[in-house]
Amino acid sequence: MSMTPEVTTYSIQDVAKAAGTTSRTLRHYQDIGLLMPSRTGHNGYRYYDGQALLRLQRILLLRQLGLGLPEITKVLEGTRDTTAALRRHLELLMQERDRLELQIASVKTTIDKTERGEQLMAKEMFDGFDHTQYKEEVEERWGKDAYAKGDRWWRGMSDAERASWKEQSKQLLADWVAAGQSGLAAESAEAQALAQRQYDWLASANDGQEVSFDYFTGLGDMYVADPRFGTNYGGEQGATFVRDAMKVYADGHLK
C-alpha cells in the first residue's frame, strides 16, 4: 500500500460514464448534498476520487430500487438502517402495485363498456327505427329515405367530424346513464341540459332540420317501449327518466 495517498481523480464526465449516469445528475447530487466532489479545481471543475465513485454506485443502486434521494441520504449517513428503509419502501411499492392492478381492471371494463355503448349508439342512429312502433310516424316526418339521408350526412363528414360526433354520442349516452343513476329529477337543470343536448344531437344528425314536439316526445316514449333502450340507458327506470326529462324539455322549449 502506498504511503502518500496519491489518489487518482476523475473528471465529472469520467465518473458519470463510469457509473452510467450523467454529469447533470452529479451536479444535482452536489446541490442537495448527497455526493460532493472530493476536490474542486481553481477553475471550478469538479474532481472525484474512488471513494466518491463508490458512494455514487451505492446511491445509484438504491435509486434503482426506487428509494428517494432524501431517504438515500439518510441511509448513507447512517441515520437510517438500510434494511429498514428498504422494507418500508417495499411496502409502498406493493401498495402502488395493488393500486395499479385495480386501475388496470377498471380501464379494461371501461373499454369494454365503452365499446358496447358505441356500437349500440351507431345502431340507434341508423337502423334503430326499423324495429319500433313509431316507424311510420318517423318515416312520415323524416322521410322514407331517412336512413339514406343519414348515411349521406355521415359520409359527408370528415374523419375528424365523424370522430367528434361519435364521441359526442357516447358522451351523451354515458351522461344520461350517470344522471339517471344519480337519482336526479327530470326537471333538474342537469337533466334538462341533457335533454337539450339530446335535441341538438338529433337535429345535428339531420342537417339542422327542426325536431318537432311530437317527434321528440314520441322518441322518448319509444325509449321506454323498446327494451334495447332500457338496456342501454340503465334499465327501464333509466329509460323512464330519459323520457320524462325529454317531455319536460319539450314542454318548455318545443311547442
Judged by the rule CB under 7 A, the positions of this chain that interact with DNA are 11-14, 21-25, 27-28, 41-46, 63, 68-70
Query: Burial of 98 by CB count in 10 Å (0-12 exposed, 13-18 middle, 19+ buried)?
Result: exposed
Cα angle value 214/166/151 (rounded, 5°) = 65
Report the nearest approach of DNA to the CB of residue 177 (Å).
23
**36 binds a copy of itself, rule: CB under 8 A:** no
- Phi and psi at 63, nearest 5°, equal -65, -35
Report the nearest approach of DNA to the CB of residue 16 (Å).
8
79 binds, among DNA, a copy of itself, none (CB under 5 to 8 A by kind): a copy of itself
**241 binds a copy of itself, rule: CB under 8 A:** yes
- What distance in Å separates the CA atoms of residue 149 and residue 159, rounded to the nearest whole number? 18
* Minimum CB distance to a copy of itself smaller for 130 or for 207: 207
Among 63, 170, 228, 247, the residue binding a copy of itself under the rule CB under 8 A is 170
189 binds, among DNA, a copy of itself, none (CB under 5 to 8 A by kind): a copy of itself
- What distance in Å separates the CA atoms of residue 97 and residue 68, rounded to the nearest whole number? 17
- What distance in Å separates the CA atoms of residue 251 and residue 125, rounded to the nearest whole number? 24
**118 binds a copy of itself, rule: CB under 8 A:** yes
167 binds, among a copy of itself, DNA, none (CB under 5 to 8 A by kind): a copy of itself
Kindly list the distances between the CA atom of residue 253 and the CA atoms of 155, 186, 199, 202, in Å, as whole numbers in the listed order: 31, 15, 10, 15
Residues between 196 and 225 with contacts to a copy of itself, criterion CB under 8 A:
196-197, 199-200, 203, 208, 210
- What distance in Å separates the CA atoms of residue 23 and residue 33, rounded to the nearest whole number? 15
- Kind plus residue range of the DSSP H or E element containing 7: none
Q: Grid coordinates representing 19? A: 457509473
* Minimum CB distance to DNA smaller for 24 or for 255: 24
**137 binds a copy of itself, rule: CB under 8 A:** no
**73 binds a copy of itself, rule: CB under 8 A:** no
Among 124, 184, 206, 228, the residue binding a copy of itself under the rule CB under 8 A is 184
**60 binds a copy of itself, rule: CB under 8 A:** no
Q: How many residues does the chain have?
A: 255
Of 71, 79, 85, give the one whose Cα is nearest residue 32.
Answer: 71
